[in-house]
Amino acid sequence: MALTVIIACNNSTNKKNDTKDTAEKAVQMPEQPAMPDTIFTGFGTEPFWSVYVVKDSKIIFHPADGPDVEVPFVEATTVNNATRYKSASANVSVELTIAKKECSDGMSEETHSYRVILVVNKEEYTGCGREGK
């Protein structure tokens, strides 16, 4: 009988740790692809996502789930104090608008220098951003 109680307690403890590990993993941002020439990084929460502008190469959208989306790098245009990248490939379009405005990501207490609106195939994501990686 005592052995049953000990096993039950151990199983309960393991479940609590598993739940904690899962919760910690759920709030982590997606991993950044290793790109040394990244000139801008945008990111958001609920759902987590990130976008990377790689100079003279590509723009990469990294959703929380699903495969990465890549389109060719294009030079940005500036309209009303906002920088805009608009690119497409065979089956995807990406429009990234970056405004120099203070931004909080809603999850951390960190304030970022840029607000970002990302539209991927007509689906809109809003978040924050920073220059470089």
What DSSP assignment string belongs to 46-60?
A: TTTEEEEEETTTEEE
Position 123, amino acid: E
* CA-to-CA dists, residue 131 to 28, 51, 91, angstroms: 20, 12, 28
Average pLDDT in the chain: 79
Q: Is residue 45's pLDDT more than 80?
A: yes
Name which residue leads in pLDDT, 10 or 104: 104
Give mean pLDDT, residues 44-49. Answer: 89
Q: Is residue 13's pLDDT more than 80?
A: no
Q: Is residue 117's pLDDT more than 80?
A: yes
Per-residue confidence (pLDDT) for residue 35, from 0 to 100: 64
Q: Of all residues in the chain, what percent carry a pLDDT higher than 70?
A: 74
Cα–Cα distance, 11 to 115 (Å, whole number): 45
Give mean pLDDT, residues 11-25. Answer: 41
Cα–Cα distance, 80 to 11 (Å, whole number): 59
| pTM of the predicted structure, to 2 decimals | 0.72
Give mean pLDDT, residues 40-69. Answer: 93
